A and B are shown apart, each in its own frame.
Chain A
Amino acid sequence: MLKQIEGSAAVAEAVALCRPEVICAYPISPQTHIVEALGRMVTDGRLAPCEFINVESEFAAMSVAIGASAAGARAYTATASQGLLFMAEAVYNAAGLGLPIVMTVANRAIGAPINIWNDHTDALSQRDCGWIQLFAEDNQEALDLHLQAFRLAEELSLPVMVCMDGFILTHAYERVDLPTQQQVDAYLPPYLPRQVLDPAEPISIGAMVGPEAFMEVRYLAHAKQRQALDLIPSWAEEFRRIFGRDSGGLTHAYRVDDAEIVVVALGSVLGTIKDTVDEMRTGGTRIGVLGIGCFRPWPTAAVREALQTAKRVVVLEKSLAVGLGGIVSNNVAASYAGSPDRVHTVIAGLGGRAITRQSLHRLLGQAVEGGLEPLTFLDLDHALVERVIARERGQRRSGPIAEGILRDLGVVAARAG
């Protein structure tokens, strides 16, 4: 059924169709609308049987999900930004215990300075936590990925994080095709846990494991994640048959067949990049786009194949490995058959800075001409940065950086561009 609804509402509908049994809710922007909607569904009985628990922190949210999942219930929660960091210990624990929890991360910057807008720093900070991480390009995909996430999680006994851009997707009203309960039930079998806390068959979960077995446990976590690289493409046909559309997948290659330059990115910015690429193609530039749908496990082979013809790779990422440069670009470089110095890192859109077609044209134009630096901060206001550096040089007590920049800017409201 086609509906024009908010991204968060679409996700809530998708989650509800997956018949979650325990939902833990703790508010943090921009995820909050999702759990609000689910809470309403539980209260009015539309989603039943389901326990909706208002917890006291994100750490508790993930911990309640851990308990619920270990006791055999399908468990779901959602978070973002600081919330993901606050629950980090439990995020690793859920993966280590092999509990198939599904969590939406409405991607948002990490403070300080506090910033509620979108980038990917939160999810990418957890890239090694053992969760499968899927990134949605638009709201239809965000909806569909949740259906796939529960199935994938339960098949592999691994938790799955569905990442969608905060505000850009969560708060955008778009047309989505909502599946029926019948379709979802045909796609997602009931949860049959591999391990369950059951008085009829008592087991211990979470025991101390020493050097004699720890490596093997970690290796198996890795091997299981790599299995997802086979499962995700092999389930695509079934998804298409039931829901009548393609959605999800490891990567999305767009006009890469003969591309000499390929732009790699995650999430909603892919739309803007594709528009820019279309325009550049009209001008005769052989350029394409590779969207990463599955960030963990990293689709090594799919990326390598999509970059086969590329003479240059531009990785545009909404995250920053402080002191190094790119996070995604490191992964890309490891999968690129060409020379790693042909992989350019572009840090863009941090804290919600808009990534415009105009900026992309300028940037990719440089790439075409061979003038793109190995590491670029898109639309960085160099003059502003210089002022801070000069101030710090001039006086010891130069004050807090963020507040100094805002004073220099002389604006009180956040600007988008």
Chain B
Amino acid sequence: MSYQPIRFYQTGTFTVGNRLLPDEQRSVQANMRRTNSLNSGHRACQGCGEALGARYTIDAAMEATQRQLVAANATGCLEVFSTPYPETSWQIPWIHSLFGNAAAVGTGIAAALRVKGRHDVRVIAQGGDGGTTDIGFGCLSGMFERNDDVLYICYDNEGYMNTGVQRSSATPPAARTNTTMPLGQSAGNRFGQGKYLPAIAMAHDIPYVATATVAELHDLEAKVRRAMEFRGARYIHVFVPCPLGWGHDSAATIRIARLAKETGLFPVFEAEGGRVTHVSRIKRKLPVEEYLRPQQRYAHLFRDPPRRDVIERIQQLADRNILRYRLTDGVERRA
């Protein structure tokens, strides 16, 4: 990926003005010829991070593949809010089969295209964190291991939101969900060992793994475009806040996503062949409290007396990420 040094930033956000970029680097969404692959009129909640992430992802993939794209979708919010017929929002060939098999359906589509000589048509499989890290994990790992030519997108909102906010293996420690209620001495979801899919994907040594957030949509687009330059299994893990499940203001989705990255709780990076090649550094390191406070799912940590012990443990997780992925190193690291 060739970036040119960017000098002009929007005040306070570090977001570069689109107009200042050369044509080929401008946002797909800013282009009048964008495909609106996930069209307006769907039934996502106000401020839905997943809808935003999916829209940017699929439009970028459509652009990268000259509109030769097929998508397989796991059961979940994205599937439900986008399809109640006859109001499908999908402007691309799209199939939903089951909750746990999106990666395998993607494999099947890719196999069919290969056998028919349609090397120009590319395949995306996508799902939420439940469909990816839990019920769809076997199929996903199989797809990675075989290096099938599928780009898998996980829209991670850290829980089963479609069924009414329950814990998934991507739910962070201390978060309140309807199956991890902070009652009595409980501080919400337990501190487990975590199940960090981007690292698991990298352990499969697949050609390309990336993480992104909806706070940096231009970065997300670039990663989708980059992913489409590879053949084989690719994985992008997109951090998508959920106003309903996390209990934050609908207007705060992007800010929350940015805070996740700037605190170090959600590392943003790229990896090729199992090796990290690029890390989006934290521009101004913030304490995790800044990220936790605006979310009702962490409200129990800030009651009287506040759970300093728990907040401190979460801070340690962020600090570990910062060390592990070198998130605060002076220069952006590139291969």
Q: A and B: real partners?
A: yes
**A contact set with B: CB distance below 8 Å:** 21-22, 24, 49-51, 53-57, 59-60, 63-73, 75, 89-90, 93, 97, 197-199, 201-210, 213
- B79, B80, B104, B109: the one contacting A70 at CB < 8 Å is B109
Instruction: Look across to chain A and name the residue whose beta carbon is closest to the beta carbon of B85.
Output: A207
Q: Once the chains are docked, how many angstroms separate the CA of A404 from the CA of B20?
A: 79
Q: Which residues of B contact A204 (CB under 8 A)?
A: 83, 85, 88, 90, 94-96
Please give 14 more A-B residue pairs, beta carbons under 8 A apart, in addition to A199-B93, A208-B80: A21-B115, A51-B112, A63-B104, A64-B104, A68-B109, A69-B108, A71-B113, A73-B112, A90-B98, A90-B101, A93-B97, A199-B121, A201-B93, A206-B97
Q: Once the chains are docked, how many angstroms separate the CA of A203 from the CA of B90?
A: 8
Q: Are B109 and A197 in contact (CB under 8 A)?
A: yes
Q: Which residues of A contact B90 (CB under 8 A)?
A: 202, 204
Q: Once the chains are docked, how many angstroms separate the CA of A68 from the CA of B110?
A: 7
- A50, A97, A201: the one contacting B97 at CB < 8 Å is A97
Q: Are B105 and A63 in contact (CB under 8 A)?
A: yes
Q: Are B80 and A64 in contact (CB under 8 A)?
A: no
Q: Once the chains are docked, how many angstroms separate the CA of A48 from the CA of B329?
A: 53
Q: Which residues of B contact A69 (CB under 8 A)?
A: 108, 112
Q: List 12 A-B contacts (CB under 8 A).
A: A22-B112, A24-B108, A51-B112, A53-B146, A60-B101, A67-B72, A68-B108, A71-B112, A89-B98, A202-B93, A203-B93, A204-B83
Q: Once the chains are docked, how many angstroms separate the CA of A73 from the CA of B93?
A: 15
Q: Are A59 and B138 in contact (CB under 8 A)?
A: yes
Q: Which residues of B contact A24 (CB under 8 A)?
A: 108
Known A-B contacts A21-B115, A68-B111; A197 and B95 likewise in contact (beta carbons under 8 Å): yes
Q: Are A22 and B111 in contact (CB under 8 A)?
A: yes
Q: Which residues of B contact A197 (CB under 8 A)?
A: 70, 93-95, 109
Q: Are A208 and B105 in contact (CB under 8 A)?
A: no
Q: Once the chains are docked, how many angstroms separate the CA of A56 from the CA of B116?
A: 24
Instruction: Look across to chain A and name the residue whose beta carbon is closest to the beta carbon of B141.
Output: A56
Interface hits, B5-26 → A, CB 8 Å: none
Q: Once the chains are docked, how many angstroms separate the CA of A24 from the CA of B142?
A: 13
Instruction: Look across to chain B and name the residue whose beta carbon is closest to the beta carbon of A60.
Output: B104
Q: Are A67 and B145 in contact (CB under 8 A)?
A: no
CB distance from B276 to the nearest CB of A (A): 27
Q: Which residues of B contact A209 (CB under 8 A)?
A: 85
Q: Which residues of A contact B72 (CB under 8 A)?
A: 67
Q: Which residues of B contact A97 (CB under 8 A)?
A: 95, 97
Q: Which residues of A contact B95 (CB under 8 A)?
A: 67, 70, 97, 197, 204-206
Q: Once the chains are docked, how many angstroms separate the CA of A209 from the CA of B98?
A: 14
Q: Which residues of B contact A68 (CB under 8 A)?
A: 108-109, 111-112
CB distance from B187 to the nearest CB of A (A): 36
Q: Once the chains are docked, how many angstroms separate the CA of A208 from the CA of B75?
A: 10
Known A-B contacts A56-B139, A56-B145, A208-B84; A202 and B108 likewise in contact (beta carbons under 8 Å): no
Q: Are A66 and B115 in contact (CB under 8 A)?
A: no
Q: Are A63 and B139 in contact (CB under 8 A)?
A: yes
Query: Is B226 an interface residue, CB under 8 A from the partner?
Result: no
Q: Are A199 and B109 in contact (CB under 8 A)?
A: no
Instruction: Look across to chain A and name the residue whose beta carbon is closest to the beta carbon of B67.
Output: A199
Q: Which residues of B contact A75 (CB under 8 A)?
A: 108, 112
Query: Is B107 an interface residue, CB under 8 A from the partner?
Result: yes
Q: Are B97 and A66 in contact (CB under 8 A)?
A: yes
Q: Once the chains are docked, how many angstroms separate the CA of A213 from the CA of B84?
A: 11
Q: Are A67 and B105 in contact (CB under 8 A)?
A: yes
Binary contact readout B225-255 vs A (1 if CB under 8 angstroms, 0 otherwise): 0000000000000000000000000000000
Interface hits, B121-143 → A, CB 8 Å: 121, 138-139, 141-142
CB distance from B228 to the nearest CB of A (A): 14
Instruction: Look across to chain A and name the residue whose beta carbon is closest to the beta carbon of B101.
Output: A63
Instruction: Look across to chain A and name the residue whose beta carbon is closest to the beta carbon of B79.
Output: A208
Q: Which residues of A contact B4 (CB under 8 A)?
A: none
Instruction: Sort A-B residue pairs by CB-CB distance and give the 10 closest, nearest first.
Output: A67-B108, A56-B142, A63-B104, A71-B112, A206-B96, A63-B101, A73-B112, A67-B105, A68-B108, A197-B93
Instruction: Look across to chain A and name the residue whose beta carbon is closest to the beta carbon of B105.
Output: A67
Q: Once the chains are docked, how many angstroms separate the CA of A222 from the CA of B121?
A: 35
Q: Once the chains are docked, how many angstroms separate the CA of A49 from the CA of B119?
A: 14
Q: Which residues of B contact A201 (CB under 8 A)?
A: 93
Instruction: Look across to chain A and name the residue whose beta carbon is closest to the beta carbon of B95.
Output: A205
Q: Are B115 and A49 in contact (CB under 8 A)?
A: yes
Q: Once the chains are docked, how many angstroms separate the CA of A46 from the CA of B83?
A: 42
Q: Are B69 and A199 in contact (CB under 8 A)?
A: yes
Q: Once the chains are docked, how many angstroms separate the CA of A63 from the CA of B75?
A: 13
Known A-B contacts A50-B115, A60-B142, A73-B116; A55 and B93 likewise in contact (beta carbons under 8 Å): no
Q: Which residues of B contact A72 (CB under 8 A)?
A: 112, 116
CB distance from B229 to the nearest CB of A (A): 19
- B84, B108, B116: the one contacting A65 at CB < 8 Å is B108
Q: Are B116 and A21 in contact (CB under 8 A)?
A: yes
Q: Once the chains are docked, how many angstroms separate the CA of A75 from the CA of B113?
A: 13
Instruction: Look across to chain A and name the residue whose beta carbon is closest to the beta carbon of B73.
Output: A206
Q: Are A207 and B138 in contact (CB under 8 A)?
A: no
Q: Which residues of A contact B80 (CB under 8 A)?
A: 208
CB distance from B271 to the nearest CB of A (A): 23
